[in-house]
Amino acid sequence: MWKERLCEESLRPITKAPMNRLTSSTTSFIRSLTSARSMAALAACTAICIGSLSLADTQVRLKSGQSWRGELNSQVEVTFKENGKDQVVKGKLLRADQRVIQVERELSGKVSTKTILVADIVTMTSVEGAPATTDGAATGTAAGTTTGTTTAAKPDATKPADPGAFRGVYYMPIKGTVGIGMREEEIRKIGEEADKAGPGQIIVLHIDSPGGIMNEALEIHKTMLELRKRHRVVAWIRKAISAAAFTAFHCDEIYFESSGNLGSMTMFAGQTAVQGQLLADWLEFAGKVAQEGGRNPQIAQCMIKVELELSYDIPPGGGPKDAIFRPDNKGQHILDTSKTMLTFNATPALECGFSDGTADTKEDLAKLLKIPEWREVNDVGENLYESWNRLLERCGEEVEELVYTFGIKDAGGDPVRAMGAQIKTIERLLMWYDRCQECLIEAQMDKGIPVPPKEALEQRLKQLREALAEARRQQRDAGRGN
Amino acid sequence: MKQTFSIAASLLLAATVSTATPTAHAVDSAPLPQIAVPKVYIVPMKGQMGTDVEPEEYDAIVEDIKKVKPDIIVIQLDASDEDRKQPLDLSEGRANRAERSIPKINEYRDLALKFRTELRDIPQVMWVNDAIGFSALMAFAWPEMYMGSDARIWGLQQVTMLAMGWEDPDVAAKMMAAWTAAGKGFLELGGYPLPLGDALLFPDRNLSARWEGRKVKWTNDVDGTWIIDDNPKRTPIFTAQLAEDSGLCDGTADSLDDLMFILGYREYTKIDSGEKAIDGYIKRWRKAFERCEELLQDVGDEGGGDERALAKQLKTWESILSEMERYPAVEYRLGRQYGLNKGAVKREIEQIKNQLQQIRNRERGNRTNGGNAPGGAGLGGGGNRR
């Protein structure tokens, strides 16, 4: 029994009680994000999310500060640095994310794929479109042109930060169950703190979470999409399982600690994984989030469904970021078989390009982030985390005592006094329900404390107040009789 | 401690160690200092993982190390779920189940990380005297590993057992992947290759090793020079001999003198403040636990509902609660062996207080003596959560 208990305790993926309550809303929400066809009523929401995931408008931000916009599969001409010399490649753009592009070209009658680091690109133009501008002025967003960025640029992860302009990072540890210790609220607040310094700040989320409640993950999803528009958002992984892994997929960059692990995103209720349309929607949704973050969607999907396979090849002369994934086990490097659920450790994640690096200290992370030094702008992130966790701890201790001593405390004397004690206990529990509902969920999930539902407490409180009033009336009557 | 090393053998080993390049360790490890008489700080991790080896207790050790600034840290790991005195029984393991290691994997990870990151400028050596159970995870969290000549490191099946009990194939795979990734994280921290981790975790994975130049290559097959494990029903067991032959550990040493000699030091200064602190802690919590066991016996014997007996019971429960709050190890063991937790004890205390109140009210001739008090009805469930 202890094994099961600890299993639940430490993984806490989604337990029966919250999930039963959450399943219907989760279903509709995911459908709203993924199946615009069948969920016309939620079209507005769908449009936002699907729109952001669309590949019709692909953007490559160049080192020069300019950016290219166009469509995948269009013809491009790219000038880039290789071994200190400018090289030119023309061909079909197969892939483009913030770190690498891949161009399919024909050489001596043979088709090959050239992978180019965005950092090495000098110019990039569409063959049928306008040439790249060199002055950085915005030239519109017509497909296939290189443009000056029209929104405030996020720092380019591929080049060192300007030491003069570097203010520091906004660092926040996020630990515990998603929806309890790790919440959307703190992520939103650290974003608001970074906003005070304008767009383009670096936010580092140090994630140590066994997963949690899906509804909260979906709230985090919305917040992260917004946050990433304004800032460079970095995940630093100690542990990111299930909903926490899903959160990490939203980040611009993902770094691991040596002992870090990320994956296992199967959604389940009670003892059973979701199936049918909800599973299909979840696979699609998670894949799109991965893709939007510049990662292969199959990676996310292999973290959800056991039968899915994944392997990859590194083209000759290529590196981890050139990895070409395939949904079977025929590649050079097998990541996931039909009997396993994909969960990355640091080394495999780095070798296939999923991870951007491995760092065990903030100083090491600073080097990977290409910032001059590890410097935190302020301690708001730490404070947000600590104050919330202090509240959780305080609430947990008090709730445990309230529940276990209810009906016993002060029950040895005057019945009026005993009822007063019970009322006080229920009022405290209801106060905690209002102030920190997450804590009551944790008390049930984590410690097995039988906290009654809020409605039951409110009903009991009403009964007790009536009984107390009656008892006092009887005492008064008895007093008059005497 | 027995000395198994002749000087010649020691010198040979020392030479080997000094010229060998470390295996592919991912995490940087500070090089050993080039000084004649290094200060060596001993960090014992011995006894039951989770109680004797209570991660929080090591916070003070880390601070002490920062203050003392030793030249080398030796982590002395001697934590086994299998009693040497008992016959080897893989299915049952340690005879005394109460002494089996506690699966606080995240806390152990944080403990290892604390040493490896906060003290990264000081060279650290893992010296395994025995590692069976969750302690084996710790053995792999440091890249420099030495073993006592009769030391053992067993596989990590305890980790996979945490993921058992799920019938749905996707959920079962999810749990297995999550737990085993956490387990393999320790090997990553120590820089050991993941095929070794897979074999240690999954009984059906083979394991063999071969030298490639000066490096050992581990593979999940039986094609290597050393076949470590080809039994599909169990995970590998490393004796010190096997570990040394296959390059898993960097050498064997039965005493600190031996270890320091292998590391290249004829003299050293031992700093034992960490040993003293940990030994003191272990003695204190175990004494507290024994006292709680005696108190539980007493409270069972303290029959009768008179005021004096109740007052004594109250005092007994309050003492137990006090020890539980003082030592998480006491709380854990009382839970594991007696099904007690703090909530249950607090409830017991409140009930006794009520009974005492009722007696006192009666004695005072109070008419509202509590007999009709609406007490006793809890909010649901008992206190036993273990």
pLDDT of residue A8: 31
Q: How many CB atoms lie within 10 A of CB B60?
A: 14
Contact B106 A10 (CB under 8 A): yes
Q: Which amino acid is at A205?
A: L
Residue length of chain A: 482
Distance, CA of B141 to CA of B146 (rounded, Å): 13
Q: For residue B250, how far is the Cα from the chain centroid?
A: 22
A390 or A84, greater pLDDT = A390
Among A62-71, A452-461, B90-99, the least confident range = B90-99
B23 or B202, greater pLDDT = B202
Secondary structure (3-state) at B12: helix
Q: Is the dihedral of CA B248, B250, B254, B255 positive or negative?
A: negative
Locate the chain B residue with the closest alpha carbon to A443.
B385
Query: Average pLDDT, stretch A113-129?
Result: 75
Q: A10 pLDDT band (50/70/90 cuts)? A: very low
Contact B162 A450 (CB under 8 A): no
Q: In chain A, what are the domain boundaries?
A: 2-54+157-378, 66-148, 385-481
- Where does A170-272 have alpha helices with state H? 184-195, 214-230, 243-249
Confidence check: pLDDT of B295 > 70: yes
Secondary structure (3-state) at A113: strand
Residue length of chain B: 386
Q: A84 pLDDT band (50/70/90 cuts)? A: low
Confidence check: pLDDT of A215 > 70: yes
Distance, CA of A233 to CA of A154 (rounded, Å): 9
Locate the chain B residue with the closest alpha carbon to A1.
B386
Of B162, B347, B368, the CB nearest to A6: B162
Distance, CA of A122 to CA of A126 (rounded, Å): 14
Of B105, B170, B354, the CB nearest to A412: B354
| B374 in contact with chain A, both atoms CB, cutoff 8 A | yes
Residues of B in contact with A348 (CB under 8 A): 194
Q: Any idea which residue has 């929401």 for tokens?
A: A45
pLDDT of residue A113: 65
A346 in Cβ contact with A352 (< 8 Å): no
Distance, CA of A265 to CA of A195 (rounded, Å): 31
Query: Average pLDDT, stretch A255-265?
Result: 98
Locate the chain B residue with the closest alpha carbon to A426.
B379
Query: Average pLDDT, stretch A53-71?
Result: 65
Q: How many angstroms separate the CA of residue B50 from the nearest CA in chain A? A: 14
The DSSP annotation for B266-296 comes to S--EEE-HHHHHHHHHHHHHHHHHHHHHHHH
Confidence check: pLDDT of A157 > 60: no
B189 in Cβ contact with B116 (< 8 Å): yes
Distance, CA of A296 to CA of A325 (rounded, Å): 7
Secondary structure (3-state) at A316: coil
B221 or A414, greater pLDDT = B221
Distance, CA of B349 to CA of B165 (rounded, Å): 37
pLDDT of residue B86: 56
Secondary structure (3-state) at A96: strand
Tokens describing residue B125? 């050596």
Q: A439 pLDDT band (50/70/90 cuts)? A: confident
Among A391-395, B150-154, B375-379, the least confident range = B375-379
Query: Average pLDDT, stretch B370-386?
Result: 41
The strand pairing partners of A462, in sequence order, are: none
pLDDT of residue B241: 95
Most confident stretch, A156-165, A190-199, A467-476: A190-199
A140 in Cβ contact with A150 (< 8 Å): no
Confidence check: pLDDT of B369 > 90: no
Q: A29 pLDDT band (50/70/90 cuts)? A: very low
Superfamily of domain A2-54+157-378: 2-enoyl-CoA Hydratase; Chain A, domain 1 (3.90.226.10)
Residue A200's nearest CA partner among A254, A157, A141 is A157
Q: How many angstroms separate the CA of residue B369 from the nearest CA in chain A? A: 6
Contact B346 A4 (CB under 8 A): no
Confidence check: pLDDT of B178 > 90: yes
Query: Average pLDDT, stretch B74-89?
Result: 77
B133 or A404, greater pLDDT = B133
Contact B170 A401 (CB under 8 A): no
Q: For residue A412, how far is the Cα from the chain centroid?
A: 51
B84 in Cβ contact with B32 (< 8 Å): no
Contact A415 B372 (CB under 8 A): yes
Confidence check: pLDDT of B150 > 50: yes
Superfamily of domain B7-271: 2-enoyl-CoA Hydratase; Chain A, domain 1 (3.90.226.10)
Residue A470: φ, ψ to 5°: -65, -45
- A-B contacts (CB, under 8 Å): 210
Tokens describing residue A15? 């337990």
* pLDDT tens digits for range A273-306: 999 999 999 999 999 999 999 999 999 999 999 9
Among A405-414, B162-171, B316-325, the least confident range = A405-414
Of A242, A260, A306, the CB nearest to B170: A306
A207 in Cβ contact with A261 (< 8 Å): no
Residues of A in contact with B170 (CB under 8 A): 266, 268, 273, 304-306, 341
pLDDT of residue A79: 86
Confidence check: pLDDT of B3 > 70: no
| A111 in contact with chain B, both atoms CB, cutoff 8 A | no
Distance, CA of A70 to CA of A48 (rounded, Å): 20
Contact A210 B178 (CB under 8 A): yes
Of B176, B355, B385, the CB nearest to A448: B385
Beta strands in A26-117 (DSSP E): 58-61, 66-70, 75-82, 85-96, 100-107, 110-117
Distance, CA of B186 to CA of B140 (rounded, Å): 6
pLDDT of residue A164: 63
Contact B171 A272 (CB under 8 A): yes
Mean of pLDDT over chain A: 79
Query: Average pLDDT, stretch B288-313?
Result: 87
Residues of B in contact with A413 (CB under 8 A): 354, 357-358, 361, 366, 368, 370, 373
Interface test with chain B among A259, A304, A352, A399, by most B beta carbons within 10 Å: A259
Most confident stretch, A91-105, A339-353, B330-344: A339-353
- CB within 8 A of A202, min separation 6: which ones? A155, A161, A168, A169, A170, A231, A232, A234, A369, A371
Residue A33's nearest CA partner among A263, A233, A224, A289 is A289
Interface test with chain A among B171, B179, B204, by most A beta carbons within 10 Å: B171
* pLDDT tens digits for range B99-111: 999 999 999 999 9
Secondary structure (3-state) at A174: strand
Q: B239 pLDDT band (50/70/90 cuts)? A: very high
The strand pairing partners of B217, in sequence order, are: B210
A9 or A355, greater pLDDT = A355
pLDDT > 70: percent of chain A: 75
Which residues 198-257 of B are in CB contact (within 8 Å) with A? none
Q: A72 pLDDT band (50/70/90 cuts)? A: confident
Query: What is this model's ipTM?
Result: 0.85
Contact A412 B358 (CB under 8 A): yes
Q: In chain B, what are the domain boundaries?
A: 7-271, 278-363
Query: Average pLDDT, stretch B362-367?
Result: 68
Distance, CA of A66 to CA of A140 (rounded, Å): 12
pLDDT of residue A57: 57
A472 or B331, greater pLDDT = B331
Of B188, B347, B373, the CB nearest to A347: B188
Residue A99's nearest CA partner among A232, A202, A217 is A232
Most confident stretch, A61-70, A89-98, A101-110: A89-98
Q: Which amino acid is at A327?
A: P
pLDDT > 90: percent of chain A: 51
Query: Average pLDDT, stretch A3-32?
Result: 36
Residues of B in contact with A447 (CB under 8 A): 385
Contact B173 A306 (CB under 8 A): yes
Which residues 70-89 of B are in CB contact (within 8 Å) with A? none
Tokens describing residue A131? 């040439």
Confidence check: pLDDT of A13 > 50: no
Most confident stretch, A101-105, A211-215, B71-75, B344-348: B71-75
**Domain range A66-148, CATH class:** mainly beta
* pLDDT tens digits for range A230-250: 999 999 999 999 999 999 999
Residues of A in contact with B163 (CB under 8 A): 7
Distance, CA of B183 to CA of B193 (rounded, Å): 13
- Where does B211-341 have alpha helices with state H? 240-245, 256-262, 273-301, 307-326, 328-338
